[in-house]
Structure 1
Amino acid sequence: TDLPWSPVIEEIDKLPILENTEANLQYKISRYISTSELSVTWHKKEKNGNLTYLPKNSSKYKPNTSISQLQPDNTYSCTTSLLITPRLLDDQGSEFICRVKHPSLETPIERSTGPLQVCACPRNQDPIQWSHTDREEAVLILHLHRFYPQSIEIKWTCSCRQLLKSEDESRENIFNSFDVTSKCRVPQEHMMHSDHKIRVTWKHVTMTDPEIREVCVRDSDFPWRPEVTELSNPVLLFGRLVTVQCGISNFFPNDLSVTWFVKERGSQGYVLLERQRGYKITASPQYSDSGYSCTPSVEFTPSSFSSHHGVMFMCKVKHPSLGHPIERITKPLFITSAPVVTDSVKLNPCESEFVLCSVRLEKFFPKNIHLTWTFGENKYIQYTPKKTLLVDDEMETFGVISECKIPWNQLKFPVRVTWEHESKAEPQSTELPGPELPWCPQIEALDTPYLILNTECKIQCRISGYFPKELIVNWFKEEEETRQLVPVTNGINYKIPQPQRQPDNTYSCISSLYFTPTRMDHRLVFICKVRHPSLKEPKEERIGPLKIVELFRRPNIDSLETSMLNGKYKIECKISGYSPERLTVTWIKKGKNECVTKDNKYNIPKIVHERQSDKTFSCTASLSYVPKNEVSEFICRVEHPSLDQPIEKHTGPLQLQQPDTNLQERKTGRYLY
């Protein structure tokens, strides 16, 4: 039946639908009676036309109808609603339909929201990012996500309200909404003041008020705050250029200030380095993808222990991104001067067949130094040496003489001195140049003016400058024809040398060879051969060829003596004190000046030379004959190499005499000269 009171559906104020924001779709139903027979249902119509009933117990969509209220005209009214949390993917373009049934209606009435437009508010999930593309400007990047509709307004300004250039790039995402990336180029000059801020503002239809973000170089997430390493703490080497430096990296803009200070030894505090002489400051920023970097440094040459020993440096780094300067301070830097070996290891022989090894190190600082000597065949023997500290007041450095006594036979093996000093990271050492003993014997043949034939003589060699005293001396003679060396034995003696210690603790001796030369020894060569631990091969000295000389001694000739025995005259000439024995006696008969020779008439015995204790010779020359009636006179002529002219002795005239039977022998002493 037709009733005048049929339900009417009225739309309540429509609000914007925002994604993921709970929305309440409401309708007012009025002018009906019989509340118990009112039926209200909600339906969803997809974009493809499918219609879906939304039950009251739906978890996603929550329909609700209020209790009917009696109105003044005795009709009823109620409010029906659908509580939804829309999503762009699910609900964009869909329709929500409210359908009402009542007995007063022939057909149900309904109201539709029409295609639903779901809006999405821009999301700022990420902080504003900093980047840079070159050395002149930085880039600020803003990302806004999942907003709808696409239209959005973004502005960038600086503290002076100057509009900055920007580029916006929007794109649709998988959620049927939009993302936008806004890039703003910020020149360096807008970043060189720590209180200058960069502001970005964006406005969207879904927003009641614009959103604002501000950034500045002082923000905690500013990416280019200088990273400053600790200052280097180099070892100061006296007289050598040294650099103190630190590394500063990843800063932007290029508005960095580095100030150096120094505190020298004896100073009360730090002073500005620019006011000090002798220091060179360098810093050259370099640009890279990560920003600017530089290595500020101070160069100087430690030249005074009173000023530079214990010096300290401080650098202060300022940058717009820093609230306070960054300070870096070195430790006290101490000068070290590395030991210098002024000479190779010296060796000197000393008492008890020991060798004194010594080394001299100079120009080191500080004075603490540790030295050890090592030597030995199978296992090194460590020896803490005697140490004498030297002080160089002018150079303000130290020196040391280190000495070590070792047995001489240990020099056959490596001998090393090692020192440890803080100027060097590793121990330093030096070794003896070689295993050879440096004190080789020197052989010198002593002058032998001449060798006298048949006279014992002495040949000597002086052997000096050797250490240790172990020495073997052998004498050899060289055969003239074969040139072979024959050990000296038969009839030749040599004296075993007794070594004498010299002031320099080396040894010397004289080796003597005694022999009596004969004529066969003329031009003989003697070799003195020496063996010593310092020699790899025997060392020798050749003496000769020797020249044998004869010692000429003039003969002493007595007056001639005559005698007669048994009717024969006998004339005798005694000769003595001559050398060599090459003496010739000739008898001459005066008047005829003819030499008397041994025959039946004259008897001349062969001369016998007798060696005397003084190495001279003596002999007696005689002539015997039977006198005739004539008077005879004889001359005894003596020739010898020592005489320039022969010596003659005369008998005087010899007359015939009658034999005296009572006198067996009568001597006559008449002489001529």
Structure 2
Amino acid sequence: MLFFISASPLLYLLHFVCPRPLICKTFSHLSLFSHPSRCARSATSARAPSDTSAPCPFSHLSPRVPSATSTPCPFSHLRNRAPSATSEGASPHPLVSQCLPHYPCMMKPMRLIAEEDPDMEGPPWHRHSLDVPAGGVLKLVAPTFHRARMGSDVLIPCTFTIDKPPVDTGQLALSWRFQEREVLTYNNKMNSTHPRASINTARIKDGDVSLYISNTTISDGGIYTCSMSYSVERQDKEIRLDIDDLSVKHRVAVGVASFVTVLLAAAAIFLVYHRRHKKRNIPRVQEITRCGDGTFSLDVGRFAPKDISFSWHLIQPPSSTEKQQLESTLIMSENQDGTFNATSTCDNLRGKVNVSQPYTIQAAVTHPRLKQPVCKEWTSDLQDGYKLRPIVTRPLQLSLCDPGEVLCSLNLESFYPKHIDISWSCDTGQSQKDISSQEKYLENPDQSYNAESACKIPGDSLKDPEFKVIVRWKHETMEDWESRELCVRDPGFPWRPNITDMSPLIILPNQQTRLKCTVSGYFPDVLTVMWFMKNARQETIPVSNGSKYEIPEISREKMSDNTYTCTSTLCFTPTSNSEEKEFICRVSHPSLEEPIERSTGLARTKVSPTVTEPIKFSLCGSGDVLCSLYVSKFYPKDINITWTSGRDQINKIKSVEKCIKISDETTCNAISECRIKWDQSLFPLQVTWNHESMEEPEYKELRITDFPWIPTVGEISVPALYVGSECTMQCDINNYYPDNNLTVTWIKEKGGQRLMVSPNIRVEHPSLKPPIERRTERLHVMAAPVMVSPIQFLLSKSGNVECFLQLNKFSPEDITIKWTSTGKQNEDPILYDQKAVTEQSDSLYSTVNWCKIPWRQFLRSVTVTWHHVSLDEPEHRELHITDFPWRPVLGEIEIEALRDGTESKLQCKISGYFPNALTVTWLKEKEKESNEWVNVKNDPHYKIPDLQHEKQQDHTYSCTARLDFTASYESDDGAAFICMVEHPSQEGPIERSTGPLQVNKINELCALNQRKNTK
């Protein structure tokens, strides 16, 4: 009987249906072939079992792997990328767990790289990603895994973005590695060591550096790393490529002894197939992964259709009910079976999170196959908080100090916590020496930190081209030290020499010719200048100081910025048969890889004038405009410069011409000046110069728009705009001429909402081609919220107090309302329900805010606070129990006919109160008409029954206060009683009085009755 099945799925299936001894026994009868790429990894990573361990029974699974001393275990490749199987908290692969007691190779630290089962919710190590922290410039995005079919062409996706496009490929360096072996690099040119690997260089400027591999084979499967550097930023991304082998079938010969095992495996396959069919295409949402660069990512695999959406929120502190929405980036890839994988990465949290408080990141996934969105959360530890990796936004900075020292500085930005280690050293090529440094720290508004570290080195040390300055730093967010280094030949070195001026070669027989070469902006002061001569045969001959040529000592000058400028001079006297045709000045400096040079140009007897500077304008005290043209380095001396005006250039303007002759130079310079009054009809203005060395005159045409006095228009300053109040908007306009030709127009955008305004200003001037416009954003005309009526109270069935706050006539519509209960130590937030803000007919807004509060919180204080942009400070109202409208109402005291020696009672009806915390006190006048009262509570002659509170339909309470006693003519006749009621809603007690009581004696009653009967 023949049965074809892949080894890895069979192992996984047998885990569910067979105990470990049965699995091991079964494999003694099977001949399985391992994945070739994994066998290769086994050969490099496996270790032989110890002498006391039994040889691995699965060694026959790797027939292609040679072994020096023993057969390596075919599962040793599982150690390559999985957590330690024996480490605390680790969850090893089920098959690994079964084999651990028997095969020591499985006990070593490992990281599982398994083929993704589309039907199983795989363990967390089923997929992985390595995210290297990003800075503020570069962001690299790639999936954690990708699949391809053997023999097909595959594109491993990897894209990037920068914060300041377009992409400058001169600052970009790219490297693709496979299993830590470099397969492709790009640095202005692609270099591939893999014959089937390439990238589309035309797509790099669009942010696409995906790796293309043609005709994939099984050996192409594994870990690919995309490493990219841009400017000073660097990022890495790992992508696992899985190759599906559909052309090679692994044949398993099953004997009669394993027939039962195969049946069990077939049953397991059926169960798995049934589960796959049941859960097909449902998104598999993993847990949120925290990346080292301050971002978070969420992977979703094996879903269809393609439509999927992610939403990210920041909650801080985790108990808060307010959520801050985060932007995110989505990258998707398609599997061979038509399903899709997606990785969503939220933006960096820099500046959005308080680093000293814990927080929660929440991600929700929505898909048509999900009945409801799947929500995942990640919460930081109290001790952890939000850690930020330092960012290097610019290279090492160098500046010159007066004593000839060089100040080196490095800026590290936006890191947290504050502690960071920074060290400086210098490397001469033979030894390395530490340098002391000073650090300055600055706390940012988001509670992260910036650090500036600086050290000084001797300026003379830069004379050595091999000298390097190295700075290293380490932060707890970094796995290893990072560094930057700088030497004089690095592209960022700021003080390289420049040849700023070179004399032309003018040959006049028997007259001395003087050539000058000026070099500026260099440091350190170690410069070599050499002269070379070219003859008619184009031979370059070095020129040295001697009888024919005179090269004076170079004159050096230290400039105000502590750099140096020097001038090298070459003098000689040509003859009628001189062979000098051209001279070259060559400059060498430690900062230069190759010398720089400048040529005089070919020898000549005439030199055409050059105009290197634009025409200059200056205002005279009389209001005239002085125009100046500077013409330089011409020979011979005579030159003609004219100024004309008007469209036809027929009006000649009077001008003054000055010729400047430098004593030791052959060439001449000239300045031509003319004065014009402001008259728009003069323009365009034209200046023309002509010289005998020129074939035809040259000219420059000037228009009013060439004036340097172009209006500078500032931003519109906008005060707070309130309904019904005046406001002034202003815009500063400076630096314009003339002053009588400026037109300013204020424009209000037409349409829109009644309380929205967008003012614009348009400035027109003759010196402007298009007018300058400034505009504000759409401005809200603000109105402060008004509380037109006191806060309303209602009682609920549960006995809680419902509070209603109504705010009217405010704009804009955004308003924040918060209810808090003031305790003994802090404020506790109260949940509330804010009804929608509604717009009124006058374009203002109103809102009703409802809150349900236990009445006991009013015994302390309940505060409602509202904040609106129109308010300088939030407004609030404090509520106490004395604000309750449910205060007790006392009826009149009911008095029965009182007879001496008979049981009697006084009672008073009390109603309409809440809560039922009511206190009733009965007082008796001490002596008749004494106005002194005593509490009868402790008098045994009087009894006060307990109050019976009855709840009414309006949820308030009512009761009857009663005083029972035996009436006594001697003590009660003529006495007065008071019923005094105290309630939390009352600031003081309320009371009712009986007035003097009348107690009748029994004999008096009898006589009275007899008189009535006689009548």
Larger Rg: 1
TM-score, L = length of structure 1: 0.48
Q: More helix per residue: 1 or 2?
A: 2
Which structure is richer in relative contact order (CA contacts within 8 A, separation 6 or more)?
1
Q: More strand per residue: 1 or 2?
A: 1
TM-score, L = length of structure 2: 0.34
